[in-house]
Amino acid sequence: MNAIKKILGIVWILLALVAGWWLIGFAGPKLTSGTQDGMVFGIIILFVLMPLIVLGLVVFGYYALLGEYHQEE
Amino acid sequence: MSTTKDKKQSSIWSVITASSMGTLIEWYDFYIFGSLAVVLSTKFFPSDNPTAAFLSTLATFAAGFIVRPFGALFFGRLGDLIGRKYTFMVTLLLMGGATFVIGCVPSFETIGYAAPVIVLIMRLLQGLALGGEYGGAATYVAEHSPKGQRGFWTSWIQTTATVGLFISLLVILLTRTMLSPEEFDAWGWRIPFWVSILMVYVSYLIRKNMSESPAFTKTKSEGKISKNPLKESFGNKLNLKFVLLALFGATMGQGVIWYTGQFYAMSYLERVMSISPEQVISILVTALFFGTPFFILFGWLSDKIGRKTVMMTGMLVAILAYRPIYEKMYQTANIANKVEILDKAEFKAEFKDVNGVQDSVYTAHRYFEDGTYLKETKIVHLVNGVAKVVDGKRAEVKSKVVEVSSSDRWKLTLLVFIQVLFVTMVYGPIAAFLVELFPVNIRYTSMSLPYHIGNGIFGGLLPAISTYFVTNAQSNGKEDFYLEGLWYPIIIGAICFVIGMIYITQKMTSRYTE
């Protein structure tokens, strides 16, 4: 189980990068949509949701890779 | 012996009453703003004024998504420094005061830009207060709970969000029933905001006499209070790894399942299926009424078989069942599956002149054998008697309202009820799970942040993101466009389920039992 936890650490880091790339593609056009709803929505996705997912998952994956979640077993 | 036990039981019930009532009122306050958004926008945020409309968008998004985690940090820190009781008294008064002020602010017509600015500030204060309230109430109840019964006792706090929504819908429905539409529009919408101040006052009186949590008092007397809860919670790897695990392995999935079951279901019925707002409210109120006791059941069950088992089962069943459930919901009200009574159909065409703008209005009333009624309206904007053309297309607005038959209404109620059951499975034990993951001295701060990011941000953005998926698929001509919005909760829920199953251990969920 510990080995799976460690290997999956890489998966979470990669997932963070894919999610970041997808969110930029998703929210980017909203910033230039011309509507205020779209702009605010785009800003929230790009500057709140995306950093949370990317940074959070990268750090989580890094900790998993370091074996930080092994100790509790 | 039995007297001591009785005293303990009565004391825990007082704790539950005091905490739950305040938290319920906070949720009530938070929801009435959303439920009355249409009326509020006409009073404070006229859509023909760009600045006011911008403030409206900020009020909608910012309070629910951005400010809540800040409230969690600010009040969480305070709760770990000065105590749970005083902190969640402050959040209660802040929420009550802000709600009351919204009910008193003169309209945009009367005081101009000051009106939307005041409402926006009050809405932000509501978000801050909500961010601080939940963690305090959950921690306070958990720290009063007897060993091995935390899931059961904290599940009462978990019911408050649903009951708060239930009561807000009920108060609005009652106010609308008692007043004429003109009276409600003129001043009646203020009543649900004013009602709040009475409830807050009663709750304040009850909470005032409560004692501080025993675990916090003990930690304080031993001099073990954290000097810097924010640094210890998020600047320390030993704790940060559990904050991240709580977010990605529990609250993120719980947030999207909660928002799907209660809010997306509501907007799906109204916007995608075009069911009348009155029927949507009655379906939701009934499903919530019958679903709420299950929070207690699953909270109790989590004490017996483990928090992880209950929450992960709920998450898995939900992500597997969403598509079949929403397919069934859509087909239940789909008129393509029904036989029309052609003789009863009525069609009407008329010209309307509103403030010099001419419209051609076409209305169709259609009736079906099973009792379903459909009203379709098409408004064509005219210029000099000819249809106005914008970007090469006729300027027209189409709308439809479906009133389903009684048996279909019960079918839809059952399908929403099943989703509420999923909510109770993942949400019932979450407070106990979060509390036991973090030590007393930084508990309020540490548990509040993942909870509000999971629910406020991952869950709060769900209606907007899912609606975008549906609209996008519909404009691309996708046949099952009505199911596209479910990809967001399914993907987020699935990732959370895998992380939760692999990284959360039963031992981990009872790290801190004090």
Average pLDDT over residues B462-484: 87
Q: Indicate if the alpha-carbon torsion angle B498, B499, B503, B506 is positive or negative.
A: negative
State whether residue B494 sits within 8 Å of chain A by CB.
no
pLDDT in tens, B380-402: 888 777 777 777 777 778 889 99
Check residue B513 and give its pLDDT: 67
Q: Is the pLDDT of residue B34 over 70?
A: yes
Tokens 């008129």 sit on residue: B335
Contact A16, A61 (CB under 8 A): yes
Confidence class for position A73, pLDDT limits 50, 70, 90: very low
B208 strand-pairing partners? none
Pairing type for strands B346-354 and B393-394 reads unpaired
CB hemisphere CA count around A51 (13 angstroms): 6
User: Which has more confidence, B64 or B317?
Assistant: B317
State the number of CA atoms in the 13 A half-sphere of B39 facing the CB. Answer: 22
Among B237, B244, B502, beta carbon nearest to A56: B244
Q: Which long-range contacts (CB under 8 A, 24 or more apart) does B37-46 make?
A: B39/B184, B39/B185, B39/B189, B40/B119, B40/B189, B42/B185, B43/B107, B43/B108, B43/B115, B43/B189, B44/B105, B44/B107, B44/B108, B44/B115, B44/B116, B44/B119, B45/B108, B45/B116, B45/B119, B46/B108
Residue-wise DSSP of A3-35 = HHHHHHHHHHHHHHHHHHHHHHHHHHHHHTSS-
**pLDDT tops 60 at residue B103:** yes
ipTM: 0.93
> CB-based contact (8 Å) between A57 and chain B?
yes
Structure tokens at B469: 């998926």
What number is the average pLDDT over the span B311-329?
97
Rounded mean pLDDT, B404-413 = 96
> Nearest Cα to B213, choosing from B145, B123, B125?
B145
Q: How far is residue B420 from each of residues B174, B423, B439, measured CA to CA in Å?
A: 24, 5, 31
B8-30 average pLDDT score: 83
Contacts of B271 (CB under 8 A, 6+ apart): B467
pLDDT of residue A28: 86
Of B290, B244, B293, B260, which is closest to residue B428 (Cα–Cα)? B293
Identify whether the C-beta of residue B142 lies closer than 8 Å to the C-beta of residue B435: yes
Q: Is the pLDDT of residue B159 over 90?
A: yes
Per-residue pLDDT, averaged over B285-300, amounts to 95
Average pLDDT over residues B407-415: 97
Nearest-CA distance A42 → chain B (Å): 11
Calculate mean pLDDT across residues B131-143. Answer: 89
Q: Is residue B304's pLDDT more than 90?
A: yes
pLDDT, greater one: B56 or B418: B418
Among the listed residues B24, B56, B58, the one whose alpha carbon sits nearest the alpha carbon of residue B37? B56
Per-residue confidence band for B435, with pLDDT thresholds at 50, 70 and 90: very high
The pLDDT value given to residue A17: 96
How much is the pLDDT for B173?
84
Cβ contact, residue pair A8, B502, below 8 Å: yes
Q: pLDDT of B225-276, one tens digit each?
A: 888 999 988 998 889 999 999 999 999 999 999 999 988 998 899 888 999 9
A51 and chain B in contact, CB less than 8 A: no
* Mean pLDDT, residues B355-372: 88
Give the residue from chain A lying closest to B54, CA to CA.
A36
Domain range summary for chain B, segments of one domain joined by +: 1-225, 228-334+405-514, 342-404
How big is the CA angle at B27 (ends B23 and B28), to the nearest 5 degrees?
115
**Dist CA B325 CA B269 (whole Å):** 12
State the nearest Cα–Cα gap between A57 and chain B, in angstroms.
8
Look at residues B460, B499, B467, B459 and name the one whose alpha carbon lies nearest to residue B486: B467
Find the mean pLDDT for residues B342-352: 90
Query: What CATH number does domain B228-334+405-514 carry, 1.20.1250.20, 3.30.465.10, 3.90.550.10, 1.10.150.130?
Result: 1.20.1250.20
CATH 3.30.565.10 correct for B1-225: no
Longest Cα–Cα distance of chain A, Å, equals 52
B514: confidence class by pLDDT, cuts 50, 70, 90: low
From chain A, pick out residues whose CB is under 8 angstroms from the CB of B458. 49
- Please give the share of chain B, as a percent, with pLDDT higher than 90: 49
- What's the pLDDT tens digit per position in B44-99? 887 677 677 667 766 666 666 778 899 999 999 999 999 888 898 899 899 999 99
Q: What is the pLDDT of chain B when averaged over all its residues? A: 88
Please state the separation of Cα B77 from the chain's center in Å.
25
- pLDDT for res B58: 67
Taking CB atoms and an 8 Å limit, are A48 and B65 in contact across chains?
yes
The per-residue pLDDT for B61 is 65
Best mutation target among A10, A48, A65 (most B Cβ atoms within 10 Å) is A48
CA-angle at B358, arms to B355 and B359, nearest 5°: 120
State pLDDT tens for residues B211-220. Answer: 888 888 999 8
- Does B241 sit within 8 Å of A5, measured CB to CB? no
Question: Stretch B19-29: mean pLDDT, rounded?
Answer: 86
Distance CA B206, CA B94 (A): 16
Length in residues, chain B? 514
